[in-house]
Amino acid sequence: MATTFRFIVGILALAALAPRAKGQRSVSAEVAFNSEFVWRGVTSTNRLVLQPDVSLAVPVRGTTFTLGFWGNIEPRRYDGDRDISSLNGLPGPILTQSEVYANLSRTLGRVDAVLGTEVYLYPRVANLSDYNTVELLATATIDASVSPTVSVSYDVGPIRGAYIEAGLTRAITGEQRGAITVGATAGFSAGMSTDPRGRDMAYFDRDGLTHVDASASATFTRGRVAIAPEAHVIFAYDALATVTEPDVTRRAKLWFGTTLSWASDR
């Protein structure tokens, strides 16, 4: 796994240094302040989290190459009776999950296509680092008044399964410098559930529909800084996605947050 990670990061780093075609390189940075960390419908942390993201985008012959880093930070130790923590109350680093990602994106007519890879890294606390893995990603979005999106992620590491999302979004542009977007996304597991043959590692209790995410977001620009509040209602169908607190399950749950982002051409 370590060799695979070093190989992928090395190749992507070399690609980031490739000669530019037309256009500017763009550096982006953002930080999200979220009431919870909900990943693919499953609550990983049910308290405040910070999620920074930095990326470099390089246009190359009509295609954009993006290399970035994302992290999930628990600002304090969550070990109360009603807390769900990515660390499960164990001592460890504040950065509970990180991701190195790289992708190639291109617009083909009205279709925005993305191919990429995501490397997930966990701290060396208990057995969390056993979940270190690599996923391959393919996404297609059609530019329309109501835009459909389909995304497929395949885990080539310890999980060896696919996660699929299909959704619709509708952007409503306001009179001021901002926009409101509403959407609905359904998640599906295809091999990421508990293995009846005894595999210990899984993201879901069963395969099939895991959850539906109904969302609304707004974006406001202040100079080079964009402010994007959002709210999500999760309708959970998988047993693991229904957990909201230790020994508490709900079919519907709410999380919300605000993201501050900045971008600059180089």
> What are 182-233's pLDDT values in tens digits?
999 999 999 999 876 666 688 999 999 999 999 999 998 888 899 999 999 9
CB count within 10 Å of CB 132 equals 17
CB count within 10 Å of CB 120 equals 19
Q: Give the burial string for 161-192 (b: 16+ CB within 10 Å, else e).
A: bbbbbebebeeeeeeeeeeebebebbbbbebb
The CA-based angle 67-214-178, given to 5 degrees, is: 65
pLDDT band at 126 (very low <50, low <70, confident <90, very high): confident
Q: Please name the fold of domain 2-265.
A: Porin (2.40.160)
Is the pLDDT confidence value at 10 over 60?
A: no
Tell me what the pLDDT averaged over the chain comes to. Answer: 88
Bridge partners of residue 93, in order along the sequence: none
The pLDDT score that the predictor gives to residue 57 is 95
Give the contacts of 160 (CB within 8 A, at least 6 positions apart): 191
Q: Tell me the mean pLDDT in the region 91-95.
A: 79
Q: Are 232 and 221 in contact (CB under 8 A)?
A: no
The pLDDT score that the predictor gives to residue 111 is 97
Distance of CA 19 to the CA centre of its chain: 29
Q: Are 209 and 237 in contact (CB under 8 A)?
A: yes
pLDDT digits (tens, 9 = 90+) for 19-73: 444 567 899 999 999 999 999 999 999 999 999 999 999 998 889 999 999 999 9
The pLDDT score that the predictor gives to residue 256 is 97
For every residue of the chain, which 3-state class applies, written as one string? CHHHHHHHHHHHHHHHCCCCCCCCCEEEEEEEEECCEEECCEEEECCCEEEEEEEEEEEECCEEEEEEEEEEECCCCCCCCCCCCCCCCCCCCCEEEEEEEEEEEEEECCEEEEEEEEEEECCCCCCHHHHCEEEEEEEEEECCCCEEEEEEEEECCCCCCEEEEEEEEEEEECCCCEEEEEEEEEEEEECCECCCCCCCCCCECCCEEEEEEEEEEEEEEECCEEEEEEEEEEEECCCHHHEEECCEECCEEEEEEEEEEEEEEC
Amino acid at site 261: S
Strand 178-190, strand 225-236: pairing: unpaired
Map out the domains of the chain as residue ranges: 2-265
pTM (2 decimals)?
0.88
The pLDDT score that the predictor gives to residue 87 is 84
Q: Distance between CA atoms of 218 and 203, rounded to whole angstroms?
A: 30
